[in-house]
Structure 1
Amino acid sequence: MAPPFFSDINKGVNDLLNRDFYHTSVAAVDVSTVAKNGVKFDLKAKQTVKDGPLAANIETKVSDKATGLTLTQGWSNSNNLNTKIELADVTPGLKSELVTSLVPGVSKAAKLNVNFVQPFFTARGAFDLLKGPSFVGDLTLAHEGIVGGAEIGYDITGGSLSRYAVGLGYSAGDYSLGLSINNAQLTTVSFFQKVSPILQVGAKAISTPKQLANVNIEFATLYLPDPTSQVKAKVADSGIVALAYKQQLRPGVTLGVGASFNALNLSEPVHKIGSSLSFSA
């Protein structure tokens, strides 16, 4: 089994802490359908602030399994045209993609991504063709549950190293540990465990070498009452508590509701409530 990409070394705890918390949007709707010929359509819309504007995006994905070519075209109500062309299995384990973004008369961007996956290592390279140009690459190696990796960013025009990071992870069946250092300024330690088939727990601590007294800690847990629902809770040392509930109403229809509040000062106007409704067919 190939090791994860560098950004996925701590995927378990990152998903537990960041996914399926619905308070970040007042309301969100996601509709996904697949035509008989395999063409996939996605429509996403969300309102991040009460009485604020609605952000919507429609996306079409067409794949040709014979050649490994995939074309994804998106268009948002902010007139942003997003295009992604993927070419898989040029050689075994090699995948490349060209991603472009265009807002007519405002901005444009183009990135070339190359991924290479083998049983004992993975490597990625991302070239920003218009900004810089610049390069970001990472490499991970794995052996008997231990995963190590490094990431660098390079400004091609300036000829300088723009960022770097190293990470180390260990997985032993039902639990995993992670450590990462970013630009020698940010240290992250994480823990994730599947306590049982219906219960998961995880925590992450982030600190800087110059301010070891200021450590930001988050803890989250996920509970599955039954096969069609889940309950999540997250607590940060800042006092912010987030709660979320997801329920499959019927096959292809899922409802999510969430809230966050400051447990240290309930009178502060920072409380948020949100919901999400997803359809797939």
Structure 2
Amino acid sequence: MSKGPGLFTDIGKKAKDLLTKDYTSDRKLTVSSYSSAGVPVATCMAALNFCLAALIFVVMVVFLMLWALTSTAVKKGGLSTGDVAALYKYKNTIIDVKLDTASIISTTLTFTDIIPSTKTIASIKLPDYNSGKLEVQYFHDHATLTTAFALNQSPVIDVSATVGTPSIAFGGEAGYDTTSGRFTKYTAGISVTKADSSASIILGDKGDSIKASYVHHLDLLKKNAAVAEVTRKFSTNENILTVGGSFAVDPLTQVKARLNNQGQLGALLQHEIIPKSVLTISGEIDTKALDKKPRFGLGVALKP
């Protein structure tokens, strides 16, 4: 793929990740393992009611091919959910199959460079046959283009494009419902990226909101950063200002925090227990209503 301006979804992504990524109020356990030369991988998860047929299917697939297996358990309130995902890579093809506790099978096929400088992604969730989606991404040194089709009886077409360079990019996206003949969305954005900072402005919600963000890296390794984001909704005259940042306590420990003008204060601690295995503890309180119960989340990701 080319080193062009990137996809439209990349505009503002750095600020969004700093302010939202890994913040959670759930309990989550993720276990990843890899088969070797077709040898199956067994993963044990407690308190999850996976259907037997789904587990047998995954085991059979792992026997036949070289797969990466990931199991995830999430507890939100009194509800426990989970899934088992199998990932297979061969040359320019990636097959991703996920089975969850609701007996839904999600399958994603990704093909790279079927046509030079393109990526094709096909996905479907069974048994809902109308959930099929086909997406084609085209990359150029000075532009990217993405077209997605919802493969159902009332197809929706999403198109996005960016032009520019890795340093500055302009872009837009639009969604069109072929049945009603109306646009479901249209958004425009611009991003400027430097070695130690990045800024973006996004006009969204069909022109009803504007979001501006700025990220500044405080060290060469980009482990310490400060971020600010302001969002204005024109229809309600509402302004939301959020500031935050991340700080590397040591090579294995990262701390993040965020605060907005509505009084929501969040904090996060990530520690690499062993290589590639991460413990995440996060919490959020309402500083304007301290009588409310704080929210806490815990995540453990174990990788070989």
> So what's the TM-score if we normalise by structure 2?
0.85
Secondary structure of 1:7's counterpart equals: helix
* Alpha carbons 2:141, 2:165 under 8 Å: kept: no
What's the counterpart of residue 236 of structure 1? 260
- Aligned pair in 2 of structure 1 residues 128, 201: CA closer, same or farther (>3 Å)? same
Calculate percent identity across the aligned residue pairs: 20
Displacement of 1:144 in angstroms is 6.7
Alignment of 1:89-104 (within 5 A): 89-103=113-127
Conserved in 1, the CA contact under 8 Å of 2:121 and 2:134? yes
Equivalent residues of 2:156, 2:175 under 8 A apart: yes
Summarize deviations over 1:187-210 as a string: whole Å, max 9, x none: 111111102244201111111224
1:20-77: per-residue Cα shift (whole Å, max 9, x none)? 223x21x10011122224421111111122xx12110101111211xx2221111000
Residue in structure 1 matched with residue 47 of structure 2 by the alignment? none
Q: Paired residue for 1:189, among 212, 227, 246?
A: 212
The size of the alignment, in residue pairs, is: 271
Provide the residue aligned with 1:86 in structure 2: 110
- Cα deviation digits, residues 81-124 of structure 1 (max 9, x gap): 101112111122111121001247xx751111111111111111
In 2, Cα distance between equivalents of 1:9 and 1:191: 11
CA distance in 2: counterparts of 1:86 and 1:199, whole angstroms:
34
Runs of 4+ in 1 over 6 A off after TM superposition: none
The alignment's C-alpha RMSD in Å is 1.6
Whose strand proportion is higher, 1 or 2? Answer: 1
Alignment of 1:1-281 (within 5 A): 1-22=3-24, 24-25=25-26, 27-37=27-37, 38-49=66-77, 52-65=78-91, 68-103=92-127, 108-130=130-152, 132-143=154-165, 145-182=167-204, 183-196=206-219, 197=221, 198-212=223-237, 214-269=238-293, 271-281=294-304
Q: Is the 8 A contact 1:149 1:168 kept in 2?
A: yes
Greater shift in the superposed pair: 90-99 or 202-211: 202-211
**Alpha-carbon distance in 2 for matches of 1:219, 1:103:** 43
Structure 1, unaligned stretches of length 5 or more?
none
Asked whether the equivalents of residues 224 and 247 of structure 2 are also in contact (C-alpha less than 8 Å), the reply is: yes
Rate the CA distance shift 1:32–1:216 in 2: closer, same or farther, 3 A: same
Which stretches in structure 2 are left out of the alignment for 5+ residues? 38-65
Question: How high is the TM-score relative to the length of structure 1?
Answer: 0.92
Q: In 1, distance between residues paired with 2:183 and 2:282?
A: 41
Q: SS at 1:54's partner residue?
A: strand
Q: Deviation digits for residues 228-274 of structure 1, max 9, x if unmatched?
A: 110010111111111110001111321111111111121123x1011
Using the alignment, how far apart are the partners of 1:160 and 1:240 within structure 2?
Answer: 37
Which secondary structure does the structure 2 equivalent of 1:79 belong to?
coil
Higher fraction of helix: 2
Contact 1:207 1:216 in 2 (8 A): yes
Secondary structure of the structure 2 residue equivalent to 1:101: strand
